[in-house]
Structure 1
Amino acid sequence: MSTSTVSVNDAVVAAPAQTCDADLAEHPSIFDLVPGYGPGASEGDVMPDPVVRPGQLPAAYQRMSDDELHARIRAAKETLGSRLVILGHFYQRDEVVQYADFVGDSFQLANAALTRPEAETIVFCGVHFMAETADILARPEQRVILPNLAAGCSMADMADEDSVETAWEQLMAAYADEHLTDADGREIASVVPVTYMNSSAALKAFCGRHGGIVCTSSNAATVLEWAFERGQRVLFFPDQHLGRNTAKAMGIPLEQMPMVNARKPGLGLSSEELAQARVLLWPGFCSVHKRFTVAQIDKARADHPGCKVIVHPESPMPVVDAADAAGSTDAIKKFVAASSPGDVIAIGTEINMVNRLAAQYPDRTIFCLDPVICPCSTMYRIHPGYLAWTLDGLVEGEVRNEIVVDDATAADAKVALERMLAALPKDA
Structure 2
Amino acid sequence: MTTLLETSSGAGFAEPAPSPLLLLGQGRDLASERGVECAGALPAASDPDLVERAVAARAALGDRAFVLGHHYQRDEVIRFADVTGDSFKLAREAAARPEAEFVLFCGVHFMAESADILTSDAAQQVVLPDLAAGCSMADMAAIDQVDEAWDVLDDLGLAGRTVPVTYMNSSAAIKAFTGRHGGTVCTSSNAEVALRWAFERADAAGAAEGAGDGAGKILFLPDQHLGRNTAVLQLGIPLDACVVYDPRKPDGGLTEAELAAARVILWRGHCSVHGRFSARNVEAVRAAVPDVTVMVHPECKHEVVTAADQVGSTEFIIRALDAAEPGSSWAIGTELNLVRRLAAQHPELQVHYLDSTVCFCSTMNRIDLPHLVWAMEELVEGRTVNRIVVDADDAHWARVALDQMLALPGL
The TM-score normalised by the length of structure 1 is: 0.85
Match of 1:222 in 2: 193
Distance 2:38 2:60 in 1: 26
- 1:71 is aligned to 2:55: no
Distance 2:331 2:16 in 1: 19
Match of 1:239 in 2: 223
CA offset at residue 424 of structure 1?
5.4
**Per-residue CA distance 1:192-226 (angstroms, 9 max, x = gap):** 01111111111111111110111111211111112
Match of 2:82 among 91, 95, 101: 101
Match of 1:209 in 2: 180
CA distance change for structure 1 residues 424 and 130 in 2, over 3 Å: closer, same or farther? farther
Distance 2:31 2:77 in 1: 23
CA offset at residue 255 of structure 1?
1.1
CA offset at residue 31 of structure 1?
10
Match of 1:420 among 398, 405, 408: 405
CA offset at residue 403 of structure 1?
0.5
Kindly report which structure 2 residues correspond to 1:271-420, keeping only aligned pairs within 5 A, or say none: 271-420=256-405
Contact 2:140–2:222 (CA under 8 A) maintained in structure 1: yes
Question: Sequence identity, in percent?
Answer: 51
Match of 1:153 among 135, 142, 162: 135
Contact 1:32–1:150 (CA under 8 A) maintained in structure 2: no
Tell me which amino acid in the other structure corresponds to 1:321. T
1:370 alignment partner, SS class: coil
Tell me which amino acid in the other structure corresponds to 2:15. P
Kindly report which structure 2 residues correspond to 1:12-91, keeping only aligned pairs within 5 A, or say none: 16-21=15-20, 28-29=24-25, 35=31, 51-56=33-38, 58-59=40-41, 61-62=43-44, 65=47, 67-91=48-72
**Per-residue CA distance 1:224-280 (angstroms, 9 max, x = gap):** 112112111110011100000011121001111111133444432233322221110
2:245 alignment partner, SS class: coil
Tell me which amino acid in the other structure corresponds to 1:126. G
CA offset at residue 308 of structure 1?
0.3
Tell me which amino acid in the other structure corresponds to 2:196. E
CA offset at residue 76 of structure 1?
1.9
Tell me which amino acid in the other structure corresponds to 1:206. F
Match of 1:171 among 153, 162, 172: 153
Contact 1:107–1:218 (CA under 8 A) maintained in structure 2: no
Match of 1:45 in 2: none
CA offset at residue 422 of structure 1?
2.9
CA offset at residue 393 of structure 1?
1.2
CA distance change for structure 1 residues 343 and 34 in 2, over 3 Å: closer, same or farther? farther
Distance 1:269 1:384 in 2: 46
Distance 2:81 2:387 in 1: 18
CA distance change for structure 1 residues 203 and 88 in 2, over 3 Å: closer, same or farther? same
- The number of equivalent residue pairs is 386
Tell me which amino acid in the other structure corresponds to 1:223. A
Distance 1:192 1:133 in 2: 21
1:75 alignment partner, SS class: helix
For structure 2, which runs of at least 5 residues remain unmatched after alignment? 6-13, 203-215
CA distance change for structure 1 residues 192 and 341 in 2, over 3 Å: closer, same or farther? same
For structure 1, which runs of at least 5 residues remain unmatched after alignment? 1-12, 37-50, 179-188
Indicate the larger mover: 261-270 or 219-228: 261-270
CA offset at residue 60 of structure 1?
5.2
Contact 2:199–2:217 (CA under 8 A) maintained in structure 1: yes
CA distance change for structure 1 residues 408 and 33 in 2, over 3 Å: closer, same or farther? closer
Tell me which amino acid in the other structure corresponds to 1:169. D
Contact 1:29–1:57 (CA under 8 A) maintained in structure 2: no
Indicate the larger mover: 229-238 or 160-169: 229-238
Tell me which amino acid in the other structure corresponds to 2:140. M
Tell me which amino acid in the other structure corresponds to 2:271. C
Match of 1:115 in 2: 96
Contact 1:86–1:124 (CA under 8 A) maintained in structure 2: yes
Contact 2:274–2:335 (CA under 8 A) maintained in structure 1: yes
Match of 1:184 in 2: none
Distance 1:369 1:32 in 2: 36
- 1:126 is aligned to 2:107: yes
CA offset at residue 20 of structure 1?
3.2
CA offset at residue 93 of structure 1?
0.5
Distance 1:288 1:272 in 2: 33
Tell me which amino acid in the other structure corresponds to 2:287. A
Tell me which amino acid in the other structure corresponds to 2:232. K
Tell me which amino acid in the other structure corresponds to 1:119. A
Distance 1:78 1:59 in 2: 21
The TM-score normalised by the length of structure 2 is: 0.89
CA distance change for structure 1 residues 352 and 397 in 2, over 3 Å: closer, same or farther? same
1:134 alignment partner, SS class: helix
RMSD: 2.2
Match of 1:186 in 2: none
1:61 alignment partner, SS class: coil
- 1:196 is aligned to 2:167: yes
2:84 alignment partner, SS class: strand
Contact 1:89–1:125 (CA under 8 A) maintained in structure 2: yes
Tell me which amino acid in the other structure corresponds to 2:327. G
Contact 1:31–1:381 (CA under 8 A) maintained in structure 2: no
Distance 2:26 2:341 in 1: 25
CA offset at residue 64 of structure 1?
5.8
Tell me which amino acid in the other structure corresponds to 1:369. L
**Per-residue CA distance 1:296-324 (angstroms, 9 max, x = gap):** 11111111110000001110000000000
Match of 2:9 in 1: none
**Per-residue CA distance 1:157-187 (angstroms, 9 max, x = gap):** 11100000000011112125x9xxxxxxxxx
